[in-house]
């Protein structure tokens, strides 16, 4: 389980809102200005179990609990408190401004709901089997040619359907752990390093750049899997874009699920990356009540293609604790995908994939269903145990 931030741990904001500039006063977690250094607001925030932020450039970009509850009174404060005990509740003001209603597609993704408090028989603490594929702390390797590094477990916005929401442990690797993880990746002979999290853009630019530099030239390709350009577009600064472009080839894989997420500031952030020559792809998750509609998906992928962002994957939801409200059957998912395919061109059609709990990586949902809910294996190998219908 992720814990609230301590004052000494708040480090991601140095590049948020620009590389310079200092505001007077302190912004409390409730979105109001405090006199002095804001200690009273931070103490109150800590008592509520909410993340604590102290003075940093861009600190006002996070929406405080009081502000969210004031603007969306349908949210129960009790539900918020109980949900935050198992998984943080946090969203940016940019995202809050895009929410039309608490039960709309953007509200459901970010706001606590009483249904996430009810355990489900299908819940899995590690729904994609990352634990069994972690050779050293903070590293996951499911394929011989690439390795994934969890640069942090922090995010600007905590998606309620997150497949890693059942993970426990510290929010960040220690310097020694990070050095060991990077050394392991560098020596492994992989072609790609995937920076993930949490959100890798929830840390300072220099930590991102140092991680990339530490594995070059041994690892030629770096991918950054981030939701920040969508949830926190202010994080895409000139300094970040320039630093990534200088370290090409770096691919950025973003995560948008609904057309309403593509606000003007998001479009500017994505354009800044693409205009700098950085390839940008999108991964979406098929979510009940959010985008389980072929027309909605067609609009999303069509808009992304227009923005020069390639629709890469459409993920079937992973059954993590607390996200049962977002799940749908693979058969229903295939019906939606079939209708989607009739509405968009090939360049706007992502692969519809599932990531089973065996830790062996993704495969097409159609292949999974055809094999009876198991991973297809060669005829001379022992069949795997059928999995419960996702």
What are the residue boundaries of the structural domains of the chain, listed by start? 7-117
Q: What percent of the chain has pLDDT over 70?
A: 81
CA atoms within 13 A on the CB side of 209: 13
Kindly state the average pLDDT of the residues 366-386: 68
How many of the other CB atoms lie within 10 Å of CB of 145?
11
Q: Which of 57-71, 119-133, 160-174 has the lowest average pLDDT?
A: 57-71
pLDDT for the residue numbered 12: 35
In this predicted model, what pLDDT tens digit does every residue of 199-236 receive, in sequence order? 999 999 999 999 999 999 999 999 999 999 999 999 99
pLDDT for the residue numbered 59: 54
Separation between Cα atoms, residue 212 and residue 193, nearest integer Å: 8
For CA atoms 104, 109, 113, 119, the dihedral sign is: positive
- Confidence grade of residue 169 (pLDDT, cut at 50, 70, 90): confident
In this predicted model, what pLDDT tens digit does every residue of 99-148 receive, in sequence order? 999 999 999 999 999 999 999 999 999 999 999 999 999 999 999 999 99
Q: Which of 59-68, 70-79, 310-319 has the lowest average pLDDT?
A: 59-68
> What angle (nearest 5°) sits at the alpha carbon of residue 275, between those of residues 273 and 277?
75
Judged against a pLDDT cut of 50, whether residue 161 lies above it is answered with yes
Judged against a pLDDT cut of 80, whether residue 363 lies above it is answered with yes
Judged against a pLDDT cut of 70, whether residue 10 lies above it is answered with no
* Residue whose C-alpha is closest to residue 310's, from 278, 334, 341: 278
Judged against a pLDDT cut of 70, whether residue 93 lies above it is answered with yes
Q: What percent of the chain has pLDDT over 90?
A: 78
Separation between Cα atoms, residue 351 and residue 336, nearest integer Å: 13
In this predicted model, what pLDDT tens digit does every residue of 309-345 receive, in sequence order? 999 999 999 999 999 999 999 999 999 999 999 999 9
- Confidence grade of residue 17 (pLDDT, cut at 50, 70, 90): very low
Q: Which of 8-12, 165-169, 304-308, 334-338 has the lowest average pLDDT?
A: 8-12
pLDDT for the residue numbered 246: 98
Kindly state the average pLDDT of the residues 184-195: 97
pLDDT for the residue numbered 168: 81
Judged against a pLDDT cut of 90, whether residue 197 lies above it is answered with yes
Judged against a pLDDT cut of 80, whether residue 16 lies above it is answered with no
The whole-model pTM stands at 0.83
Three-state helix/strand/coil letters over the chain? CCCCCCHHHCCHHHHCCCCCCCCCCEECCCCCEECCCCHHHHHHHHHHCCCCCCCCCCHHHEECHHHHHHHCCCCCHHHHHHHHCCCCCCEEHHHHHHCCCCCCHHHHHHCCCHHHHCCCCCCCCCCCCCHHHCCCCCEEEEECCEEEEECCCCCCCCCCCCCCCCCCCCCCCCHHHHHHHHHHHHHHCCCEEEEECCCHHHCCHHHHHHHHHHHCCCCCEEEEECCHHHHCHHHCCHHHHHHHHHCCCEEEEECCCCHHHCCHHHHHHHHHHHHCCCCEEEEEECCCCCCCCHHHHHHHHHHHHHCCCEEEEEECCCCCCCCHHHCCCHHHHHHHHHHHHCCCCHHHCCEEEECCCCCCCCEEHHHHHHCCCCCCCCCCCCCCCCCCCC
Kindly state the average pLDDT of the residues 171-193: 97
pLDDT for the residue numbered 166: 83
- Confidence grade of residue 389 (pLDDT, cut at 50, 70, 90): very low
């Amino acid at each position: 389980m992720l814990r609230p931030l301590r004052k000494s741990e708040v480090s991601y904001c140095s590049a948020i809102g620009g590389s310079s500039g200092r505001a007077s006063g302190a912004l409390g977690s409730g979105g109001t200005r405090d006199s002095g250094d804001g200690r009273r607001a931070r103490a109150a925030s800590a008592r509520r179990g909410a993340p604590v932020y102290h003075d940093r450039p861009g600190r006002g970009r996070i929406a405080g609990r009081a502000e969210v509850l004031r603007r969306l009174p349908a949210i129960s404060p009790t539900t918020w408190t109980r949900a935050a005990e198992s998984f943080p509740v946090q969203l940016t003001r940019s995202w809050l401004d895009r929410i039309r209603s608490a039960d709309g597609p953007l509200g459901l993704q970010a706001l606590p709901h009483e249904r996430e408090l009810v355990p489900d028989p299908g819940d899995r603490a590690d729904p994609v089997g990352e634990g069994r594929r972690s050779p050293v702390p903070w590293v996951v390797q499911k394929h011989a040619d690439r390795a994934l590094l969890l640069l942090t477990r922090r995010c600007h916005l905590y998606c309620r359907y997150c497949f890693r929401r059942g993970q426990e442990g510290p929010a960040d690797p220690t310097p020694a752990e990070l050095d060991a993880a990077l050394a392991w990746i560098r020596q492994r002979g992989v072609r790609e390093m995937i920076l993930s999290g949490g959100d890798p853009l929830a840390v300072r630019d220099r930590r991102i750049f140092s991680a990339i530099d530490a594995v070059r030239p041994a690892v030629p390709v770096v991918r950054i899997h981030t939701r920040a350009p969508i949830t926190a577009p202010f994080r895409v600064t000139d300094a970040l874009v320039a630093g990534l472009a200088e370290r090409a080839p770096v691919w950025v894989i973003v995560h948008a699920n609904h057309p309403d997420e593509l606000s003007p500031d998001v479009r500017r952030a994505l354009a800044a990356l693409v205009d700098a020559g950085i390839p940008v792809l999108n991964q979406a998750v098929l979510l009940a009540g959010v985008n389980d509609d072929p027309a909605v998906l067609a609009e999303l992928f069509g808009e992304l293609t227009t923005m020069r962002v390639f629709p890469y994957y459409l993920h079937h939801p992973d059954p993590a604790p607390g996200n049962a409200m977002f799940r749908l059957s693979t058969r229903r998912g295939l019906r939606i995908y079939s209708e989607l395919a009739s509405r968009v061109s090939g360049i706007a059609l992502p692969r519809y994939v599932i990531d089973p709990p065996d830790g062996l990586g993704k495969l097409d949902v159609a292949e999974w269903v055809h094999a009876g809910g198991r991973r297809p294996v060669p005829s001379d190998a022992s069949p795997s145990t059928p999995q419960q219908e996702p």
